[in-house]
C-alpha cells in the first residue's frame, strides 16, 4: 500500500541522520546498514507477518556475532514495533503465537547475554505487550464488524427472498385459476383450453425465473417469514405517519402498474429506511421529500430532507441501515447512494432496473 512506502520514505532518512549525528552509536556503519536492510519488512507485514518477524529475529540475533558480541541497534529500529502489531492484527492464530514467541525469545536471549539490564527488559516487554494488545483489539473489532455486516446482508437476503416468494405465489395462483377455467370451458369451447395452456406456460416461465432468483438470494437453511410484503402502494403510509417529526411529502409519477413485486417492495423499504433515518438524525428538519419516478427501463427513488448537515459529523464507515439498503439494491441489479447535499439536508438516491432480476 502507498502508506507502507511512505513509512520507508520517512524512516530511511531518519536512520541516516541518526547515523550521522548520534555520537554514541557503536558500530555506526554496520548498525545503519542493518536498520536500513530491515526496512523492507514493513512492506510485507500484512501478508507475511510471521516471515517478517522471523527475518528480524534472525538478523538481530546474529548481528552481534559480526561485531564482537556487542548489541547492534539504533533508535530508528523502533519501527519494528509495527511488525509486532502486524502479527497480532493480521496473522493467523498460529502464526501470531509463533511470531510473538520469537520476540519474547529475542528479549530473553538479550538478557542472558547481559545485553539488557532487568529494567530495560521490563520496559521492552511493556512496549511489546502494548503493541500486541493494540493489534489484538483492532483485530477483534474488525472481525466483530465483519460479522455484523454479514448479518445485515443476511437479513436483506431474507427479506428479498420473502418478496420473491410473493411473486412466485402470484404466478402460481394465476396458473391455477386459468387451469380451472380451461377445464370448465373445455367441453363447450375447446379453443379456450388451448388459450389457458398458453397463459399457464407463460406464467410458469415467469414463476420459474423468480424461483431461481429466490434460490440465489436465500443462501442459508434457516426458515424465513414468508408473509406478504410491502409495495409502492404502501408509501402513502409513510406520509400519513408523521407524528411530531418533519412532514413527509410523497410524489409518485410514471407507469408503476406492472412493476414486479420485488422492485415495489424494495422501493418501499428503501424509502422507509431513508425516512426513518431522516426523522432520527436530521437536525432541525421540517420537511422530507419522497419522490418515485419510473420509465421503461428503471425505477428511481429520491428521499431528501432539509436538515442542518453542519451538525452532522461524517462517519468513517456507512451505518448498518445504509449498508442494508445498498445490499438490497445490489441484489436487484441496482444502485443506492446517500450523502449530504451541498447546501442543506441529506439525500438518498436509488435506481433499480424495472425487470427486477436478482443477480
pLDDT(41) > 90: yes
Written as nine digits, the cell of 334 is 441496482
Contact 338, 348 (CB under 8 A): yes
Residue 252's DSSP bridge partners are: 292
For residue 157, name the pLDDT band (cuts at 50, 70, 90). Answer: confident
Mean pLDDT of 160-183: 69
Q: What is the pLDDT of residue 177?
A: 73
Written as nine digits, the cell of 261 is 413485486
Nearest by Cα to 38 from 14, 24, 58: 58
Mean pLDDT of 235-240: 81
Written as nine digits, the cell of 14 is 531518519
Domain boundaries, given as residue ranges, for the chain: 2-116, 149-217, 232-353
pLDDT(93) > 70: yes
Distance, CA of 288 to CA of 311 (rounded, Å):
18
Higher pLDDT, 170 or 305: 305
pLDDT(357) > 60: no
- Find where cell 411473486 sits: 167
For residue 225, name the pLDDT band (cuts at 50, 70, 90). Answer: very low
* 3-class SS letters over 53-76: HHHHHHHHHHHHHHCCCCCCCCHH
Compute the mean pLDDT over every residue in the chain, rounded to the nearest whole number: 79
Residues near 219 by Cβ (< 8 Å), separated by ≥ 6?
Answer: 157
Q: What is the pLDDT of residue 13?
A: 93
- What is the β-pairing status of strands 247-253 and 335-340? unpaired
Distance, CA of 89 to CA of 46 (rounded, Å):
8
For residue 325, name the pLDDT band (cuts at 50, 70, 90). Answer: confident
> Domain 149-217 carries which CATH code?
1.20.5
Which phi and psi (to 5°) does residue 252 adopt? -120, 125
Say which range, 56-65, 217-226, 253-262, 279-288, has the weakest mean pLDDT. 217-226
Distance, CA of 321 to CA of 312 (rounded, Å):
17
The sign of the torsion formed by the CA atoms of 195, 196, 201, 202 equals positive
Mean pLDDT of 206-225: 56
The CA–CA distances, whole Å, from 45 to 79, 90, 123, 158 equal 12, 8, 24, 39
pLDDT(124) > 50: yes
Higher pLDDT, 14 or 159: 14
pLDDT(210) > 70: no
The per-residue DSSP string of 309-322 comes to: GGG-PPPSS--HHH
Q: What is the pLDDT of residue 280?
A: 82
Q: What is the pLDDT of residue 108?
A: 75
pLDDT(72) > 90: no
CATH 3.30.565.10 fits 232-353, yes or no: yes
Q: What percent of the chain has pLDDT over 90?
A: 16
Mean pLDDT of 21-29: 86
Amino acid at each position: 500500500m502507498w502508506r507502507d512506502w511512505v513509512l520507508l520514505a520517512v524512516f530511511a532518512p531518519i536512520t541516516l541522520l541518526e547515523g550521522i549525528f548520534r555520537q554514541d552509536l557503536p558500530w555506526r556503519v554496520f548498525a545503519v546498514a542493518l536498520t536500513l536492510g530491515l526496512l523492507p519488512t514493513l512492506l510485507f507485514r500484512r501478508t507475511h507477518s510471521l516471515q517478517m518477524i522471523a527475518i528480524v529475529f534472525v538478523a538481530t540475533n546474529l548481528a552481534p556475532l559480526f561485531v564482537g558480541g556487542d548489541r547492534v541497534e539504533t533508535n530508528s529500529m523502533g519501527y519494528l514495533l509495527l511488525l509486532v502489531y502486524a502479527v497480532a492484527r493480521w496473522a493467523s492464530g498460529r502464526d501470531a503465537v509463533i511470531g510473538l514467541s520469537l520476540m519474547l525469545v529475542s528479549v530473553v536471549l538479550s538478557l542472558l547475554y547481559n545485553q539488557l539490564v532487568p529494567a530495560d527488559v521490563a520496559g521492552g516487554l511493556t512496549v511489546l505487550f502494548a503493541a500486541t494488545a493494540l493489534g489484538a483489539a483492532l483485530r477483534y473489532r474488525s472481525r466483530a464488524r465483519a460479522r455484523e455486516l454479514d448479518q445485515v446482508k443476511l437479513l436483506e437476503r431474507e427479506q428479498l427472498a420473502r418478496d420473491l416468494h410473493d411473486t412466485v405465489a402470484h404466478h402460481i395462483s394465476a396458473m391455477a385459476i386459468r387451469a380451472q377455467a380451461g377445464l370448465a370451458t373445455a367441453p363447450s369451447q375447446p379453443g379456450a383450453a388451448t388459450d389457458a395452456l398458453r397463459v399457464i406456460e407463460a406464467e410458469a416461465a415467469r414463476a420459474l425465473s423468480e424461483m431461481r432468483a429466490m434460490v440465489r438470494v436465500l443462501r442459508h437453511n434457516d426458515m424465513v417469514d414468508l408473509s406478504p410484503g410491502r409495495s409502492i402502494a404502501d408509501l402513502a403510509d409513510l406520509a400519513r405517519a408523521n407524528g411530531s417529526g418533519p412532514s413527509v411529502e410523497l410524489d409518485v409519477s410514471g407507469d408503476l402498474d406492472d412493476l414486479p413485486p420485488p422492485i415495489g417492495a424494495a422501493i418501499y423499504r428503501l424509502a422507509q429506511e431513508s425516512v426513518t433515518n431522516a426523522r432520527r438524525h436530521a437536525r432541525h428538519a421540517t420537511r422530507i421529500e419522497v419522490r418515485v419516478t419510473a420509465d421503461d427501463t428503471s425505477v428511481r427513488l429520491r428521499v431528501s430532507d432539509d436538515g442542518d448537515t453542519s451538525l452532522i459529523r461524517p462517519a468513517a464507515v456507512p451505518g448498518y441501515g445504509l449498508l442494508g439498503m445498498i445490499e438490497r439494491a445490489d441484489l436487484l441489479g441496482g444502485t443506492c447512494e446517500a450523502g449530504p447535499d451541498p447546501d442543506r439536508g441529506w439525500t438518498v438516491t436509488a435506481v433499480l432496473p424495472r425487470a427486477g432480476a436478482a443477480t
